[in-house]
Amino acid sequence: MVRVGFVRWFIQVALRPENNGQTSINLALIPQGKVYRSLVKQWHGVHAEIIEKDVPVIEQSVRQVEDTWGLKANKIMAISIQLADELASRVVKYCTDIGIVDYAEYNPAGAIWLVKTAILRAIETNNNDAIERVEKIDLIQNMKDCRLERERQQIERERIERERYAAHLAEQNARYEAERPAREAREKAEKEVRETSLKTSMDLLYSFLNSKEKKEAEMRGCVTINNLAGTFVVPVSAHGLVEHYENGNYKASYCIVFQDYSIPVGDEALMKVALLKADPKKFFQTANKFDKTFHRGFAPLLGLN
């Protein structure tokens, strides 16, 4: 006997003589009950509901006829394996289609393997099940119990996942708190280094500027440089655009920065001022130019157009 879902099937195997010197190989699975009271899914358009329904279940069988004279043991076994596979697949599909399996947790491939194995074992031992059929079997309570157990297991899995996540958060928080003193000390040291670097860079910039340029840098946050190409306004800020004016009219903006973005602001401004004063040609060759519609940030402050 073998189970498919909630249904027990009696296994019957036989070699029967046929007319004209032939023999048939017969395999059959007979359900224990003629009718099963089952929970089945009924569809209403795209929506489905679970209802109770009487499902009649019929015998499933396969057979193959061969010439008796050529029917040796190895051939019988080869044919039996083929028929067992066909019958197992048919029965599993049949049970799934009529709704007498717990389809939510059902593994058809595994069920086919189990049924096929049981049939082949019956063939090898030449042992047929005693057939004890009943008119009707009620599966409702068993199906409900399976659904409740599945829901309980799902709730338990979710509870375990929540506990694992809470434990993970607690571990992370504990590690964060344990590392707090070292982290704060490191951040404090890095801040001090940045502040020292910024002060040093600004001192170096101011030492390079004349008194007028230094006052402008402190009051307006920019330095105005005049050379043969025109007037250039250099922002004392990170990654600021250098504005170019000719005869008081805005012409373009230029972007030129260090590859290392951690360079202090004063060093970046000093680089731009030094290039514009000492080597404007290199400044133009290196910087990216933006047309006159792009930016005019310092014009109102300087009284330029």
The model scores a pTM over 0.85: no
The reply to whether 132 and 215 lie within a common domain is no
Q: Say if residue 70's pLDDT is above 90.
A: no
Q: Is the pLDDT of residue 51 over 70?
A: yes
Q: Is 55 exposed, middle or buried (0-12, 13-18, 19+ CB in 10 A)?
A: middle
Q: Which of 138, 156, 185 is the last residue in one of the domains?
A: 138
In a domain, 152, yes or no: no
- Do residues 125 and 232 share a domain? no
Secondary structure tally for the chain: helices H, strands E: 8, 12
Q: What is the pLDDT of residue 235?
A: 92
Q: Are 166 and 230 in contact (CB under 8 A)?
A: no
Domain that holds residue 292: 210-302
Residue 200 lies in a domain: no
Is 111 found in the same domain as 228? no
Specify whether 120 is located in the same domain as 221. no
Residue 48 within a domain: yes
Contact 45, 24 (CB under 8 A): no
Same domain? For 216 and 122 the reply is: no
pLDDT digits (tens, 9 = 90+) for 124-148: 888 899 999 999 999 888 888 888 8
6 and 133 together in one domain? yes
Quote the DSSP letter at residue 131: P
Residues 16 and 123 in one domain: yes
Average pLDDT of the residues in 228-238: 91
Mean pLDDT score of the chain: 89
How many domains does the chain fold into? 2
Domain match, 222 and 102 both: no
pLDDT at 295: 60
d(CA 296, CA 304): 9
Residue that is last in its domain, among 94, 110, 138: 138
Indicate whether 6 belongs to any domain: yes
Residue 164 inside a domain? The answer is no
Structural domain includes residue 162: no
Q: What is the pLDDT of residues 100-125, one digit of tens each?
A: 776 556 788 888 999 999 999 999 88
Does residue 188 lie within any of the structural domains?
Answer: no
**How long, in residues, is the chain?**
305
Q: Are 224 and 131 in a shared domain?
A: no
Which of 122, 138, 154 represents a domain boundary (last residue)? 138
Q: Are residues 216 and 112 in the same domain?
A: no
Rounded to 5 degrees, φ, ψ at 253 are: -125, 150
Would residue 90 count as lying in a domain? yes
